[in-house]
Chain A
Amino acid sequence: MASIADRLQALIPADRVLDSPEDLSVYAFDGTATLHELPGCVVMVNTAAEVSQVLTLASELGIPVVTRGSGTGLAGGSVPVAGCIVLCLVNMNRILEVDVENLTMTVEPGVITKNVAAAAAEAGLFYPPDPGSIKISTIGGNVANNSGGLRGLKYGVTRDYVMALEVVLADGRILETGTKCVKDVAGFSMRDLFIGSEGSLGVITRIILKLIPPPASKATLLGLFDSITAAAETIAAIIRNRIIPCTLEFLDRVTVGCVEDYAQIGLPRDVEAVTLMEVDGHAAAVEEEAQKIEAIAGECGAREVRRARSTAEAEQLASARRIAFSSLARLAPTVILEDITVPRSELPRMMEHIQQVAVRYNVRIGTFGHMGDGNLHPTFLTDERDVEEMERVERAMTEVFEIAVTMGGTITGEHGVGLAKKRFLPNALGPVGMASTRALKATFDPQGILNPGKIFDPH
């Protein structure tokens, strides 16, 4: 019998179908720690028609297909299923149109997010979602995971900027959903089902994004705190005072140390918490809000509030924040990143719980995150070869998830469920939520070939 690679080579030029042991070994993982599985082959597609051909064949043979962009996911969403076809979309990286009349941009899924933002800026417009991996993540991956980022608090997440999609369904048919129209209630909002579907309902092959005018001005502030509680209180007080900054980020002492080791931008190492706060909008409003934030932080006990003197300095601070996760790997070979989110009012309590869990299970946790939107990234520093410690990490993680859900929060704010969090999903969604999820999956992918075993286990 012909191998999958042979069958695919009848459809796609041979140099884009990879199946050597070397090639398979480098597509066996994404950005998630400890997860690893060899695919059967990798196919680099160039067009939606090729995606359709691959899916038609996969349906016929009943072979699982795992869609992949740059492979920077943090929940194992693009980690292969054993023997699957990895459908890699990075070659589909054209920006097809920037429509300044309708404020939209049409792109292929493999465009790097940073290039989307740059193309918008070039046209005098703004694409706000900025996930930590913006320099390398693909826009298709962002849509499939409904990625957030540093500006979520004021500007929302990827979903808020998707107007229309072209999606190849599991059987190879091509679905168009959504338009460039701000108002569109013709039928169910199918588009929204695919946003955040993690490659389990279809393969996104074209995206129409919404763009907005850029803010005229912005100010970036850095708050230094001697206690995490003071930082959390500052964040709560800013919102209570009716200020919605575009960014309200937080780094704890452990994370600040690692970030400074790499970036060397003069972050103090002797503080318990650093907050990165950015306000944008009309220049006068920005100045007023920045001054208010300085006063609020002072009242809440900040040791110091610094203001970035230039755009370059502000960008340097934001970049430093974006590499927080990777820089933690300086401390331990295995870094397991979590993504819990709680209602903002519960933040100080959640932070305390995380610290207690770390002590109780004797594990090291570095925490950073988007405090403004309640999205925290407690990061477990461990070594996957230490079985005993990994077990304690697992128990500590489970407890953190349970606390978050009890507080009315969620197990993942922006990374997705994938493989890493599927055990915790039933607790978060409840039985009706899970049954509806399965029913939806069965409608779009009756054979269960699209990213099977992600989000939930197939029955």
Chain B
Amino acid sequence: MNTHKEGYADQTAAASGSPLQGLDYSVVQQCMHCGLCLPTCPTYALTLRERSSPRGRIAMMRAIADGRIETTRQFGEEMYFCLGCLACQTACPAGVDYAMLFESARDEVERSGVLATPLRSWIRRALLNRLFTSRRRLHCLARVLRLYQRTGLQRLVRALGFVRLAPGVLSELEPLTPIISNEFTGEIWERMRSANPRAPKRRVGLIAGCVQDVAFADVNEDTILVLQENGCEVVIPNAQECCGSLHAHNGEVEWARELARRNIDAFTEAGELDAIVINAGGCGSHLRHYDQLLADDERYAKLAIEWSARVKDIHELLVEIGFRTPRSIPGPKRRVAYHDSCHLLHGQGVADAPRQVLARIPNLDVVELVEADWCCGSAGIYNITQPEMSKRLLDRKMGHIEATGAEVVATGNPGCCIQIAHGARRSPSCSVEAVVHPVSLLADAYHREGEMTS
């Protein structure tokens, strides 16, 4: 099988012009346009237009690579209408690397400037080049947001209807802003590092994430606990940065490479690690591909191959090390529906491990969700950039979730958590009380048995 390790346009060719024209042609040629991807594509299902289908998008990319069509605004819009959910990649028997095509196409769009407006460029620079390239700046902003959320200012702003007065993007963004955690991962880690087992079975590095780090720090806390409980020594290098998936998916491949290098350095300094663990599906999908991303980098190519071989999703690692089943405690069962994060399922091929983890947690009644593998509409920042399509996907998802009567939705990615929780809040009839990471349910079960014995 062709794995396209050298598929991305090499850095010099791309810098001089079109990332699609610089791409290894075999990557576009891999698509034999049989159409088996069509029924799995959420945007095709909605529009029934070829341009909004995976093979249609690839055909446009190929037409640009061949010089048959120009890189136009229409092309740019189509590339951002794509969710990047990678369901097509799972469906594709021919093994097309859609993730790479998609990233190259967005890179093409950004370099060509077909979608550029002063506001868009400003927002992109602020977010991609400033905020998400520096953990320090992200922490600063998170503290300000936390103040806004905790002082009651948020409630005041919402009550006065200021949000509706804000420009379109901001008013969409506001209800989706995650609640900032009381402690960030670093602080939690300081508290918990002493609990590392003295004779560990494995030494595991944890990627703290960016959004996860400040808004879902509790998931990181639960991950640390679960790993320590299962005999792993946890290491969280302080110098790590955002994984760069946001950059790679939004046409900033150079920044994605830079962040990848910094992360490799940070974890190399942490010493010998048996695994590098991530609990966010979206990040994991990208982290595993550092080898492709840095294939042309003389200094880092080899390190990146070692890196990619070591990256594991938390569920995978738990199953691999044979995690301890928590003891059952008396009490009612909670009904749980599992939603597949696109990048965990389609990007990483992890389908069974989270279900196995859930199945072994006592006091849960795990039910299969219809279309569990269909995107919830979060898709990175898609819910902000394409609110209408995102809402339609969320409605579809919530319909299936409500049909299960589940009280808890479990899912392995922060974006899905925010999106589905938003959907549950919107619907008064919804039975869902919590949207959580499977690892949190496992950590909770360990806690409860601890309480039982004490």
Give A residues with C-beta under 8 Å from B.
18, 20-23, 25-31, 33, 44, 70-72, 90-91, 93, 112, 114, 133, 135-136, 258-259, 261-263, 323, 325-327, 329-330, 333-335
Contacts and interface: CB of A to CB of B under 8 A. Distances in A.
A23 B63 CA distance: 11
B74 A133 contact: no
Contact of B95 (A21, A93, A330): A330
A25 B63 contact: yes
B95 A261 contact: yes
A326 B74 contact: no
A31 B94 CA distance: 13
Nearest to B77: A22
A326 B60 contact: no
Contacts of A27: 50
Contacts of B2: 330
Contacts of B38: 70, 136
A414 to B, nearest CB: 15
B36 A133 contact: yes
B159 interface: no
Q: Which 9 A-B pairs have the closest CB atoms?
A: A329-B94, A326-B93, A26-B56, A327-B93, A323-B93, A26-B50, A333-B29, A72-B35, A329-B32
Nearest to A24: B69
B95 A329 contact: yes
B82 to A, nearest CB: 13
A22 B74 contact: yes
B35 A262 contact: no
A44 B95 contact: no
A262 B60 contact: no
Contacts of B305: none
B30 A135 contact: no
Interface string B58-99: 011001000011101011001000000000000011110000
Nearest to A34: B32
A136 B26 contact: no
Contact of A22 (B39, B55, B72, B93): B72
A337 B290 CA distance: 36
A18 B49 CA distance: 10
Contacts of A23: 49-51
B35 A71 contact: yes
Contacts of A29: 33, 59
Contacts of B29: 333-334
**Most-contacted residue by chain A among B33, B53, B63, B75 (CB, 10 A):** B33
B92 A91 contact: no
Contacts of B33: 29-31, 71
A140 to B, nearest CB: 14
A72 B38 CA distance: 10
Given A29-B59, A112-B39, A326-B93, A72 B50 contact: no
Contact of A21 (B26, B48, B69): B69
A262 B69 contact: no
28 contacts: A18-B49, A21-B70, A22-B72, A22-B75, A25-B63, A26-B51, A26-B56, A26-B60, A28-B59, A29-B33, A31-B32, A31-B33, A31-B34, A31-B35, A44-B49, A70-B38, A71-B50, A72-B34, A259-B93, A261-B95, A326-B32, A329-B32, A329-B34, A329-B94, A329-B95, A330-B2, A330-B93, A330-B95
Interface residues of B, number: 33
A26 B74 contact: no
B34 A90 contact: no
- Chain B interface SS verdict (over half): loop
Given A26-B59, A72-B34, A330 B48 contact: no
Contacts of B49: 18, 23, 44
Nearest to B70: A21
Given A31-B32, A263-B93, A330-B2, 19 more contacts: A21-B72, A22-B78, A26-B53, A26-B55, A26-B56, A30-B35, A33-B32, A44-B48, A70-B38, A71-B35, A258-B93, A262-B93, A262-B95, A323-B36, A326-B36, A329-B32, A330-B1, A330-B95, A335-B32
Contacts of A262: 93, 95
Contacts of B78: 22
B35 A329 contact: no
A133 B94 CA distance: 14
A293 to B, nearest CB: 28
Contacts of A22: 51, 60, 69, 72, 74-75, 78
Contact of A326 (B34, B69, B75): B34
Nearest to B90: A262
Contacts of B75: 22
Contacts of A329: 30, 32, 34, 93-95
Nearest to A71: B35
A141 B108 CA distance: 36
Nearest to B40: A135
A370 B187 CA distance: 64
A184 B38 CA distance: 39
Contacts of B34: 31, 72, 133, 325-326, 329
A16 B30 CA distance: 30
Which of B36, B48, B50, B68 counts the most A-chain CB atoms under 10 A from its CB? B50
